Amino acid sequence: MDRRFFNVFIAIMFYHGISVHIPGFEFTGNRYASFSHPVLKKSEIKIPASKIKNLSLKTMTAKNIALLAGGFSGEYEVSLNSAKNIAANLDPAKYKVYIILINRDSWFYENDGNRVSIDKNDFSLTLNGEKIKFDFAFITIHGTPGEDGKLQGYFDMLGIPYNTCDATTSAITMNKTFTKTLVEGIPGLHTARSIILFERDMHDVAIVAATLKFPLFIKPNNGGSSVGMSKVYNAAGLPDAIKRAFDEGDQVIVEEFIKGREFSIGVARLYGHIKVLPATEIISSKDFFDYEAKYTAGVSEEITPADLSPEKNEEIAGIVTEIYMRLNCKGMVRIDFILLEGTNDFYFIEVNTTPGQSAASLIPQQVRAAGLNLMDFYGELIEGAVGH
């Protein structure tokens, strides 16, 4: 920066009493204001100190960010990949990032190959005798305990802000049946017919087959990334599919297949406003978009932005915005849906409140397609939550 220009700029700001905050500068003043900086050295501005008002200048301190990954579900490795990409796209001048791994038996930070345990009493970390307290928790755990409200409730009690929906919304949206019930009635939104099975009850395959129309999707009612999901075409396939889904949880949803084009779309609150990202169309070479199709290169094609008319994009944006508001979502979510073959009617599938964030994941694709910078996007998720 040209020093003469800088002097004029500062002088004008001071003279009019405008607050100034410039990282790295120290300002002093008695009769005149002067500043010093490690690079620009020292200069003096000939402005009477009496004209300097509302001056707030201090060195910027990077926020300590706990980036939580891992979890207790089959999506552990997916979560680690998400954390690596988020860490690579958080501004190091603003944020000091610590990846905290959450396992059933321990919460820890890896420091030079050593595991340093988290003090769960106040969610702090002690490194080299220094106690580090976190300004923000960036949760990128897919499944329990990061997507179902458990960690959100913990951080609420400690008063530590975080990037996701609150504990109530996280718990509700983790349950596909509850979520479908809440969003029903939104204009333009449809849901597939389904029934819920509980592990403690008897599961009469004949009743399921008589109630719903094949083919059917069977999946855990509290799960993500299509883990434990099956598609069956007749009653003979139901017992194995139901057992597979119960391996992932104690509730299973059996849902009629909706034939059409499958999409996923990100929604986030940025700079105080709800922002709908460009939709992604998912075309799988498999029978449906299961775990392998999601995370194996070449198995599925993801088209971002999706080939949709401006009118359809506007209609979809209105529906997903209403979903976001009705469920009291916060931060960033991803909504999956199908456009029914023949009519293009919107069929709601589910809401993901901690969607994948690996470099190839859908949300980063959509952020780039929207012309946004991923570093700015993640930064605003932090600043928006802290400011709120």
Domain boundaries along the sequence of the chain:
3-51, 63-164, 172-190+258-387, 202-256
Please report the pLDDT score of residue 73 as a whole number.
Answer: 86
Question: Residue 185 pLDDT > 60, yes or no?
Answer: yes
Are 63-164 and 172-190+258-387 in the same CATH fold? no
CATH number of 172-190+258-387: 3.30.470.20
Measured between alpha carbons, how far is 209 from 234 in angstroms, rounded to an integer?
Answer: 8
Query: At a CB cut-off of 8 Å and minimum separation 6, what does 144 contact?
Result: 71, 72, 73, 150, 174, 222
- The mean per-residue pLDDT over the stretch 220-226 comes to 73
CA distance readout (Å), 219 to 24, 170, 177, 195, 285: 54, 19, 11, 11, 20
66-89, pLDDT tens digit by residue?
A: 999 999 988 899 999 999 999 999
How many separate helices (H) and strands (E) can be counted in the chain? 11, 21
pLDDT band, very low/low/confident/very high, at 303 (cuts 50, 70, 90): very high
Q: Which CATH number fits domain 63-164: 3.40.50.300, 3.20.20.300, 3.40.50.20, 3.40.50.740?
A: 3.40.50.20
Residue range 110-114: mean pLDDT, rounded: 91
Q: Count CA within 13 A, CB hemisphere, residue 357.
A: 28
Confidence check: pLDDT of 54 > 90: no
Q: Is 84 helix (H, G, I), strand (E, B) or coil?
A: helix
Q: Which residue has the tokens 């500043």?
A: 35
In the chain, the N- to C-terminal Cα span, in Å, equals 34
pLDDT tops 90 at residue 11: no
Residue type, 47: I
- What was the pLDDT predicted at 36? 43
pLDDT over 70 at 347, yes or no:
yes
- CB–CB of 65/125 below 8 Å? no
pLDDT confidence of residue 227: 78
Helices (H), the chain: 3-15, 76-88, 150-158, 167-174, 176-183, 205-211, 238-246, 291-295, 310-326, 362-369, 374-387
Q: Please, are residues 110 and 103 in contact by the beta-carbon 8 Å criterion?
A: no
310: three-class secondary structure by DSSP:
helix
What global pTM score does this model have? 0.82
Mean model confidence pLDDT for the chain: 87
Q: List Cβ<8 Å contacts ≥24 apart for 280-289.
A: 280/304, 280/305, 280/306, 280/362, 280/365, 280/366, 281/306, 281/307, 287/231, 288/217, 288/226, 288/229, 288/231, 289/226, 289/262
Q: What is the pLDDT of residue 59?
A: 53
Task: List beta partners, residue 253.
Answer: 196, 219
CATH of the domain spanning 202-256: 3.30.1490.20
Looking at residue 56, its pLDDT comes to 46
- How far apart are alpha carbons 43 and 38 in whole angstroms? 12
Integer angstrom CA distances of residue 98 from 130, 143, 220, 258, 350: 14, 21, 32, 42, 31
